[in-house]
Amino acid sequence: MAPAAEIGVLDLQGGVQEHLDHLQRIGVPAKPIKQAREFRGLAGLIIPGGESTCLARLLTIFGLREVILEEHRRGLKLWGTCAGTILLAKENVGESPHLGLIDVSVQRNAFGSQLDSFQCRVQVPEVSTESIPLTFIRAPKIVSVRPAVNVLLEIDGYIAAAEDEQTLVTIFHPELTPNLAFHRYFARKCGLQPQAGGSAIDPTWTRQSWTHIQRSSDLS
């Protein structure tokens, strides 16, 4: 049997095409995932940002909650961005957890409303030798982690990125910047080899770059 060689992006709601665009830029085979049968051959799955309550309901409607739990038990690597982090956390402050697959506690809408969205640049040594631009949109905060979880980035007293052996969570949106470092990092976590590059920044990227991707999943 051939080894798993693709990364999927959960295609229910949120920034699906933007993640697919970044994965394409680093030369990693990727596809949108909307049905259980599409999990076959995946090395990793990205749960994108969006609206966590909506995403949780759609997981149930599409019958994917148990599929993700089972595939995780079989070794599937997971990456949650923003709302995806809320879905993957074992504890959500004041709310019930959803998938509960990484031992962190998350506070939803911790920065306020959409008007409180912001950008910044930081160093994340495990991910890139260059500073990384971050985009926060109605972001949660990771308020605590358990010993099995490694903190990748802490800013002003809250945790912005963390991981365990199988799962990566980021409260920001790497897919909404020209920086490819986190997508390369996740690809390597999945056992894949992304294309090598000099700078982590792709100078050809624009905010509309993702629109070139054909949404074949919409026809299924």
Which of these is catalytic: 18, 175, 183, 190?
Answer: 175
Q: In 3D, which of 176, 181, 182, 191 has the Cα closest to residue 163?
A: 182
Whether 19 sits among the annotated catalytic residues: the reply is no
Written as six digits, the tokens of 23 are 């994965």
Backbone angles phi, psi at 40, to 5 degrees: -60, 130
H helix intervals, the chain: 16-25, 52-61, 65-73, 83-88, 181-189
| Rounded Cα distance, 104 and 111, in Å | 18
What distance in Å separates the CA atoms of residue 191 and residue 11, rounded to the nearest whole number? 22
Write down the catalytic residue from 22, 72, 98, 173.
173
What is the spatial distance between Cα 101 and Cα 162, in angstroms, rounded to a whole number? Answer: 13
Residue among 19, 71, 82, 190 flagged as catalytic: 82
Instruction: Look up residue 89 and give its two tokens.
Output: 């956390």
Is-catalytic flag, 173?
yes
What is the residue type of 154?
E
Question: Does residue 82 carry a catalytic annotation?
Answer: yes
| β 6-10/30-33 pair status | parallel
Q: Active-site residue numbers?
A: 82, 173, 175
